[in-house]
Structure 1
Amino acid sequence: MKAILIDDELPNLTNLQILLNTYCPQIEVCALAQSAEQGIIALKTYSPDLIFLDIQMPEQDGFAFLRSLNSYDFEVIFVTAYDQYAIQAVRFSAVDYLLKPINIKELIEAVNRAFKQNQLKSQHKQIEYLMDWFKVQSQKEEQRIALSTVEETRFAKVSEIIRCESSNNYTTFFLSDNSKLLVSKPIYEYDELLSNYGFIRCHQSHLVNKAYIKSWLKEYGDFLLLNDGTQIPISRGKKQMVKDTLRVF
């Protein structure tokens, strides 16, 4: 895969280039760009398969760079020193990202995912959705979240998600249309994303949309009974938090 690296700080660019050359032989770095303007020139010159894009840059940030383009015929891996709003955006859109300083294992995993996505040509829609995310935030429309599985990327309304259940580093989403989606992300990432949308982390392995909670069962331990009849355990450590959230006294 041909790649270009865009970051306003040259040491970050050279460090990333060294890491890619050392640990990701499937990547050919074609150009280094220290601004969005230089990035556009490199994009037109090399037509890359993959862009490593810094989010926070002077004059024009990474999101503004993408908004200036007419099409997205490439994969994107964002690189950032961590901005909560920015990370929330890319997580909702299921676009990959790396935190500075770059972890080698995470870099290799992100590149492997980008390689697979490039073969499937599915992430282009996710980048378009990332741009739409900002419009949704300003227009107060119902939020959607991109959920990437092996077969597809599903853009689901947050209100359609009944619950999430973890299995190691995977999360299964149970939706109101009775469909299930297995996503290769740990549940704690979605706990952070969905906490502002009425979701409760009632157990280490369970995240529940409180709109679907019917009652609290206490006869044989503590469980949340959902509208579809599912019983979700409440862990001892999270019991008081769940009580406070549901206003149970």
Structure 2
Amino acid sequence: MITAVIIDDDSNIISGMRGLLTLFAPQIDIIGEADTVLSGIAAIENLKPQVIFLDIQLTDGTGFDILEKINEKQGKIESHVVFITAHEEFAIKAFRFSALDFLLKPVDPGELKKVIEKIIKTIEKNNEFSNIELLLENVKKEKNNFKRIALSNSDGIHQFEIADIIRCESDDNYTKFFMKNGRVILISKTLKEYEELLKDSGFLRVHQSHLINLKYLKSYIKKEGGNIIMQDNTNIPISQRKKELLQDILFKQISK
């Protein structure tokens, strides 16, 4: 069995989560509950659960406050954290940049099953949960000012400076990340998700299969349908509908 605690200030959410976990994830053993920051910290310290289902907004603070206090006391978080939240755009973006799981209220059974399956697959792996520290770093920042991103694949969770990503390439339902140091990492998420995540960080999707970091754009070649050369010397095609947008961006950069 996988031990877990639920921290939420809504008793209906707690009872609802208990019911959903009983039906759809019987391998999860709820060993504790809490409804405040203080009781949540005590539950985690005393029970040491493998999984924490954590609400963002609590009566005496936030779920982030709990993680910060545990981090300060123990040096690191040693539990899988699954946030339960209303649709809070900034928080959700921070979760995605940090490769952390979240469930939107009301909790969808299908999404819950996906999260539990992911936890079961990774529970035996050696994980330092450093992406929780990245989350705490990100939630303190101004909106859309994230500097690092966590990428999760079968090998574990890897953190990178966003500025070191040259480009991303679609590979069916996977995305390949090409890094400044030559490293390539394959992630089991679509390019569309990363387009949405990185569009405010200087990235542009120039083709259905290519998302580029504009700061690594070396040259733009108009002939033969149009393509661009990146600083790693890769040749990237440009879709017809993105040519004008790219030209506008380049013109603005030259005009500065």
Give the structure-2-normalised TM-score. 0.87
Partner of 1:17: 18
Please identify, of 1-10 and 96-105, the stretch whose mean Cα deviation from structure 2 is larger. Answer: 96-105
Distance, in Å, in 1 between the alignment partners of 2:131 and 2:146 is 17
User: What secondary structure, in the 3-state scheme, does the structure 2 residue paired with 1:219 have?
Assistant: coil
Gaps of 5+ in 2: none
Partner of 2:175: 171
The structure 2 residue matched to 1:240, chosen from 235, 240, 244, is 244
User: What secondary structure, in the 3-state scheme, does the structure 2 residue paired with 1:191 have?
Assistant: helix
Code of the residue aligned with 2:136 in structure 1: it is M
The structure 1 residue matched to 2:202, chosen from 198, 204, 214, is 198
What's the CA shift for 1:175?
A: 0.3
Code of the residue aligned with 1:53 in structure 2: it is L
Distance, in Å, in 2 between the alignment partners of 1:231 and 1:58 is 54
Give the paired residue count: 246
User: What secondary structure, in the 3-state scheme, does the structure 2 residue paired with 1:120 have?
Assistant: coil
Q: C-alpha offsets along residues 75-101 of structure 1, whole Å, 9 cap, x if unaligned? A: 101111121221122111111112222
Equivalent residues of 1:35, 1:57 under 8 A apart: yes
What's the CA shift for 1:123?
A: 5.2
1:121 aligns with 2:126: yes
Distance, in Å, in 2 between the alignment partners of 1:168 and 1:104 is 26
Percent identity over the alignment is 38
Gaps of 5+ in 1: none
Distance 1:131 1:233, change over 3 A: same
Please give the root-mean-square deviation of Cα atoms over the aligned residues, in Å.
2.2
Distance, in Å, in 1 between the alignment partners of 2:186 and 2:122 is 17
Partner of 2:160: 156
User: What secondary structure, in the 3-state scheme, does the structure 2 residue paired with 1:68 have?
Assistant: helix
The structure 1 residue matched to 2:113, chosen from 108, 128, 147, is 108
The structure 1 residue matched to 2:232, chosen from 219, 228, 231, is 228
User: What secondary structure, in the 3-state scheme, does the structure 2 residue paired with 1:4 have?
Assistant: strand
Equivalent residues of 1:95, 1:123 under 8 A apart: no
Structural mapping, 1:29-40, within 5 Å: 29-40=30-41
What's the CA shift for 1:129?
A: 2.3
Distance, in Å, in 2 between the alignment partners of 1:11 and 1:240 is 52
Equivalent residues of 2:78, 2:128 under 8 A apart: no
